A and B are shown apart, each in its own frame.
Chain A
């Protein structure tokens, strides 16, 4: 038996080596130098779908950005929308009825025409609540949306499916004209149309949505050729692409990482990837590397991390002076510079300054660290109940726990309010159920570049509703007024006034803006970050050595 054991061991060892050496050289599988010019980048491993109406994460949105074209695309400098697949987008009176004309002669990668019908079928499918898609809620602005949603009973269960399957407000006028009637006027409608959820889909795609979710049939410059889900994704350039926003290289290969970008750093250093960013521990080393720092781009991001209060519950936080005291007791600059090594910006507004039309810095008067004023405000608010702890709740994320510990310490030091962190793995459902008592973390990643997108989710419609339990009639009236403004510019101004009301009533406390940055390999050039999503703009990248 001993021989057998050792024989097995030896055989297994030999087998492993033999399998490793099975092919003569690795390049039998993969051309190292003479193959197509491929940009190597990363996404997270949990990407589940590439169906436009169901895509809601950084990963599928950035993949779909090169696989599909929307009616509008956004200017990389100003983030303002310009027509791309659309020939024109014209608002009717009061911004209620919009007429969209589509450029002639465009097709999907399978040859089907990209016409008004292609948009109508995509929108109807996503707006149909029975399908349970991520981007469903975007269509709530279009007339007839409510009739497409399932009816729910008292326990939140579905008692009847949606009454109809098509949006009443969507009319295919002719092959290239689509008329959209909204529920209520909205001056920013054209801006929304570049979002992933509004991309057109081919009939072949709708005939088998499941297949289309892994093998999308796009109308953009790249075609998904292979997706080994959770491992890697390849898209090659579509030879017949009719429009002009397409790069010179041939393919994009995404490696999927379990823990996202930072785990790809070692591969970037080993030359396997063209784009990456280091984990926190290596940020300094990368920054101090004279050669590497030449291949670096950064820009402020547009995602806001902010603090909310359980305004649906009694507590000292019902007093606006108390909320101001908390805000002024948070040393944003100090916390961010010590923890984020500069990878974030202190926030003093609710809309990202410079990142979207209408965003301005400094709209929050009480977002500056001022211990004396904070104490004074706490005194006006009547102080904090003796012996109680302020609960600060957040999800289970190590980096955020560090930030929020620092926030808690800052508040305790300045105001003498003891705190406890409540790290809740089911943060999203607890928050949705208004289950917190005290303060809690929030994060907003905007869907489209318009200041309205940072504000409208505060409109809960009635007192006590929403994530915060905050309601202001003046605020909601202002949003309505802005939506009906005759021009987008006037509308943006009115949304700014709405932000002013938010700043006055102060239901939430802005904390920090995200920050986007990437390092890139020697062979890449013209690496530009999207000011809005922070993702490298793959359509703009140039590959220098082929």
Chain B
């Protein structure tokens, strides 16, 4: 187990370095081809070469390699790695500490993800299990139809409709019904409120979770159906175990492996949904920050954030692998291969 984890960590570190280097190259090429972001600082003003040069220096873009298309800019990359090794994530273009930005944005995204994952699991496990247990029933058909409907309804439509059509009247209604001083008006606020982060992230999180839950419902249903047909279940039943025990111990548990995998894999994908949700609901989070950073050719910020995200993703993947072993003893962690 230890050896397995060590090997995965090493692989993870390798992946991380590779991702960082590829991103470094991409942003560098973007700057080389598109022109220096220092120019955008001046907007409509006509800047003299000295003014542009001074701002380039301030932004850390004064290395001549940024003006030479094709130059991989290894110098600035090595410098940045050294910085990271010292635990310094550097600054964004305008000199704000990346650590501060992440410190402010990450908790909001994590809150959102918490709500999303709970929604996924709750909906996926409950509806998927019900559909599998009573396969072919009206309930099963209803649940499958619902999952198709959810898929057909893009998350941004769901959020826009919620924000512009539902939230305002709901918010007013809850104020009148429960009073300004109660929680419901906060749940239905059209935008995030940093002073009440959990209350205002709840509904957007549930909506984003809802949008992603269709895949989970189908996954849980399919893998449980497989279990129901499995020999171990037949054996369990023939041993005279009660139905609830068979379902819980032999069906649900065995079908959890693909679900956990999916949570791990969808974690990275959820960031895409987070960009939309954060943008629409005005949540200051990692998705939105990364989006803006890429738009502004903000090398320092892009690399800093992606490095952190990659680290998290690699760790989640390892955690998922370990969870496999715990869920299914047949999956060995390669101590003897």
A residues at B contact (CB < 8 Å): 1-3, 5-6, 9, 12-13, 16, 19-22, 25-27, 29-30, 32-33, 45-46, 48-49, 56, 129-132, 134, 136-137, 149-152, 155-158, 210, 228-232, 255-259, 263-264, 266-267, 269-272, 282, 425-426, 428-430, 432-433, 442-445, 457, 460, 466-467
Contacts and interface: CB of A to CB of B under 8 A. Distances in A.
B52 A156 contact: yes
A151 B53 CA distance: 9
B50 A151 contact: yes
A129 B40 CA distance: 17
B252 interface: yes
A25 B248 contact: no
Contact of A267 (B96, B191, B326): B191
B46 A457 contact: yes
Interface stretch (B79-87, B116-124, B134-142): B116-124
A132 B55 CA distance: 5
B190 interface: yes
Nearest to B191: A267
Given A2-B249, A26-B186, A26-B199, A152 B49 contact: yes
Interface string B150-180: 0000000000000110011001100100001
Contact of B53 (A150, A267, A467): A150
Given A230-B289, A270-B189, 18 more contacts: A2-B253, A5-B256, A9-B118, A26-B196, A27-B181, A149-B48, A150-B54, A152-B49, A156-B52, A158-B50, A228-B104, A229-B100, A231-B194, A258-B279, A263-B280, A266-B163, A428-B40, A428-B43
Nearest to A458: B46
A20 B48 contact: no
Interface centre among A3, A45, A270, A425 (most CB of B within 10 A): A270
A255 B51 CA distance: 32
B67 A156 contact: yes
Nearest to B105: A230
Contact of B104 (A129, A156, A231): A231
B247 to A, nearest CB: 9
B62 interface: yes
Contact of A9 (B54, B56, B121): B121
A150 B49 CA distance: 9
Given A5-B125, A30-B195, A151-B50, A270 B167 contact: yes
A16 B202 contact: yes
B36 interface: yes
Contacts of A444: 44
Interface centre among B50, B101, B249, B256 (most CB of A within 10 A): B50
SS class, residues of chain A in contact with chain B: mixed
B121 A26 contact: no
B280 to A, nearest CB: 8
Given A12-B117, A20-B202, A270-B189, A137 B182 contact: no
B148 interface: no
Contacts of A210: 95
24 contacts: A25-B183, A29-B196, A45-B284, A130-B54, A132-B51, A149-B51, A150-B50, A151-B50, A158-B50, A229-B96, A229-B100, A257-B191, A258-B278, A258-B279, A258-B288, A258-B292, A263-B191, A266-B190, A270-B167, A270-B171, A272-B191, A429-B34, A429-B35, A443-B44
B44 to A, nearest CB: 6
Nearest to A256: B284
B27 to A, nearest CB: 13
Contacts of A271: 171-172, 175
Interface centre among A1, A430, A457 (most CB of B within 10 A): A1
Contact of A432 (B39, B105, B326): B39
Contacts of B145: none
B267 interface: no
B114 interface: yes
Contact of B194 (A20, A228, A445): A228
B167 A56 contact: no
Interface in B310-334: 326-327
Nearest to B49: A152
Given A1-B327, A270-B189, A26 B53 contact: no
A210 B58 CA distance: 13
A428 B39 contact: yes
A267 B164 CA distance: 10
B183 A26 contact: yes
B282 interface: yes
A436 to B, nearest CB: 13
B50 A1 contact: no
A466 B121 contact: no
A430 B37 CA distance: 11
B50 A152 contact: yes
Interface string B21-48: 0000000000000111101111111111
